Structure 1
């Protein structure tokens, strides 16, 4: 069993750090909610996460993410873009209802943290450029998204992001390693605390 730990909870006002019981991931014997949703076959076309938050201790983080792909505007992104910056990766697609709910919160956090060296990227797994652009316009999103229909970005975080779990949001530390993960729609205050923690490292 590694020392990775998971904590659940809603942040109190004022950006209080996450609270709750730390639970070893490898010791968790609860039913797999993602697998259960996949078995239902209810045609919603995505598997919603349960909102669980996992933080990874610095000593237990995996190797830096080998992030490589192309943004919808045609810009090629190489792994070096992660070095020295906290990075937020949000996996989404336009027809995903929770993605639509959280989009304004992600944009608000992008605006709040961009002056602190934090960069945001969406990772779109299904949509064509016109659909992704319409989503960005609808929710006034100013951070870019990867066109990841080929799964290259998703593959770079294999084992961290379940293939069908959308939305999923990752916070990468300044070395490009996954510091925390939210499965399912974000709570703005929770993600703010996770970003703040990564910035402070």
Structure 2
């Protein structure tokens, strides 16, 4: 009986020890209890080879100025979709790089659109003014329809998340978390344009 109890105790201790060795960065952020209001990605990049891409992603919604736009409005161009909201510190940090890349590729085969997952129009417009953002953002706070459109392919698990759609509207790449090096996104866009 004692041997069995000792064996069970050793097995439980080993299990707990091994469980403590594994780490899930997103779960760790949640458990830390910092109340920062978001789960930040790690900046990891996922690229999908052209032959392995799924169906095109279709979405639509109202932008901060009240107009309706859809993915069809960008047909034939590479589309960079950035999920964000104004109080998100990494979103604010990457905003100048996104605007710079948007201006750099304007009229050269790529367009940008934001998807605001939290704010109302006034907050989004104020953010645009503060950071000089000239591309539109769909306000996805009411029903999450745009976020849902991506869920089956590469869900935007963290905010910010930046997704590059190829000329056919299929996901070619995703950056999960803050864009830390604009040259990475520049390369992903250029590669998608060149296809």
1:194 aligns with 2:188: yes
Contact 1:82–1:175 under 8 Å retained in 2: no
Contact 1:88–1:170 under 8 Å retained in 2: yes
Q: Which range moves more in the overlay, 40-49 or 172-181?
A: 40-49
Superposed CA RMSD: 1.4
**TM-score, length basis structure 1:** 0.81
Give 1:129 shift: 1.2
Aligned partners of 1:47 and 1:112: how far apart in 2? 29
Aligned partners of 1:81 and 1:128: how far apart in 2? 23
Contact 1:122–1:144 under 8 Å retained in 2: yes
1:121 aligns with 2:116: no
Task: List runs of 5+ in structure 1 lacking aligned partners.
Answer: 1-29
Rg comparison, structure with higher value: 2
Aligned partners of 1:38 and 1:173: how far apart in 2? 33
Instruction: Show structure 1 runs of 4+ deviating over 4 A.
Output: none
**TM-score, length basis structure 2:** 0.83
1:84 aligns with 2:81: no
SS class of match (2:107):
helix
Task: List runs of 5+ in structure 2 lacking aligned partners.
Answer: 1-21
Name the one with the larger helix percent. 2
Kindly tell me the number of residue pairs found equivalent between the two proteins. Answer: 171
Q: Which residue of 1 aligns with 2:147?
A: 154
